[in-house]
Amino acid sequence: MKRQAKRSKRALILFIVLTALVLAQAVWWTVFMAQLVDEKVEIAEELDAGAEYIEDVQKQEYRRQIMVGLEGVFFLVAILVGAWLIYRSLVRAEDVKFQQENFLMSVTHELKTPLASLQLYLDSLGSDKVPPEKKAAIVPRMKQDVHRLEQMVQNVLDAGRFERSGYEPQMARFDFSALVGRELERVEQSAWSRQVKINGSLANEIFVYGDEVGLMRVIDAVLTNAIKYSTDDPAQIDVSLERESKGCLWTVVDHGVGLEYHHQDRVFERFFRIESEATAGIAGSGLGLYLARELVLAHGGRIWAESEGLGQGTTIKISLKTDEK
């Protein structure tokens, strides 16, 4: 974060210096042109030219000055706009670079943590000092770690693929409400560092024509995010699924760190993660909501975030077309 601020500051300094130089040159040219008129008039006077001739010289020079001045203003504006565009793209490039560095660090953490726990569990299974009853409980946990690794690798691969060629859903008609119900149960029972309580209010038999696996990943990403960024313990997540005209609305509400208004769209950008005191120490790759958005868009749906601000929790809403018969 500090490094990014330093680079952006450097770009700003470059922009200010460039602007100052251009403006200084413009001032210098203006002064120079004004002096040139005076010099020409002085020379004409020294040569005892007639008043009419001197007036003509003055008029001619003023016309020339206006022409050159207008051209100067045009080029000045063009140069300043150019400098501003360069500055803006430098800042953007730094932003992208920072997000990519951040992504690499996050992915490293996300991959290494399940690897570390797998390594420890393998040590436990091979150790004579660990009692058999403890060993019995290890295998399901190892499966969870393998699933986490698989999901992470899949997310990284998909992020690249979606960017290049978009997502092609495998469409079929299925009961979306049943899928949401199953996922709520599964996510609630997964291993979390805190207790998780999901309060669901789901309408029954909402059918959609879509990619069941893709939408399962959307549900998983949104719920995982809600739990990770919850600040209450146990984490209370309120989930509702309701019918709307020609569609359905799935809503997930957490009581966590919340979002500032200008971040409410950005959380769906690839690699984007909010760097703040409240989110420090929360692991994530910045891919979950990006992939969720891509998947929802591929279904012709809409996903958006709402929040009253920092510390006020976040609501993620997804609207999808239904396929009622």
Partner 1 sequence: MKTILLVEDDPNLADGLVINLEAEGFEVLHVDHGGRVMEEFDRGSFDLVLMDIMLPGIDGLTLCKQIRQAGSTIPILFITARDQVDQRVEGLVAGGDDYITKPFATAELVARIQGIFRRQAWLATDKEFASSYEFDGRRIDFKTFEAEGPGGKFELSRRECMVMKYLAEREGEVVSRDQLLDAVWGYHVYPTNRTIDNFIVKLRKIFEEDPSTPVYFETIRGVGYRFKRAN
In the complex, the residues that contact partner 1 under the rule CB under 8 A are: 105, 108-109, 112-121, 123-124, 127, 129-130, 134, 138, 141, 144-145, 191-194, 233, 280-283
Tell me whether residue 49 or residue 282 sits nearer to partner 1 (CB atom): 282
CB of 138 to partner 1, least distance (A): 8
293-304 CB burial, b ≥16 within 10 A, e <16: bbbbebbebebe
Tell me whether residue 43 or residue 120 sits nearer to partner 1 (CB atom): 120
CA distances from 325 to 171, 210, 238 (A): 16, 15, 29
DSSP state of 110: H
CB of 143 to partner 1, least distance (A): 10
For residues 169 and 209, what is the distance between their CA atoms, to the nearest angstrom?
A: 10
Among the listed residues 251, 246, 236, 232, the one whose alpha carbon sits nearest the alpha carbon of residue 180: 251
CA distances from 203 to 80, 254, 278, 300 (A): 57, 20, 34, 21
Give me the phi and psi of 213, to 5 degrees please: -65, -40
CB of 146 to partner 1, least distance (A): 11
- Cβ contact 208:322 at 8 Å: yes
CA distances from 212 to 78, 88, 137, 172, 182 (A): 52, 41, 31, 8, 12
CB of 152 to partner 1, least distance (A): 13
Tell me whether residue 68 or residue 104 sits nearer to partner 1 (CB atom): 104
Tell me whether residue 18 or residue 282 sits nearer to partner 1 (CB atom): 282
The Cβ-side half-sphere exposure at 27, using a 13 Å CA radius, reads 6
Tell me whether residue 150 or residue 205 sits nearer to partner 1 (CB atom): 150
CB of 252 to partner 1, least distance (A): 19
Tell me whether residue 24 or residue 146 sits nearer to partner 1 (CB atom): 146
- Cβ contact 33:116 at 8 Å: no
CB of 95 to partner 1, least distance (A): 21
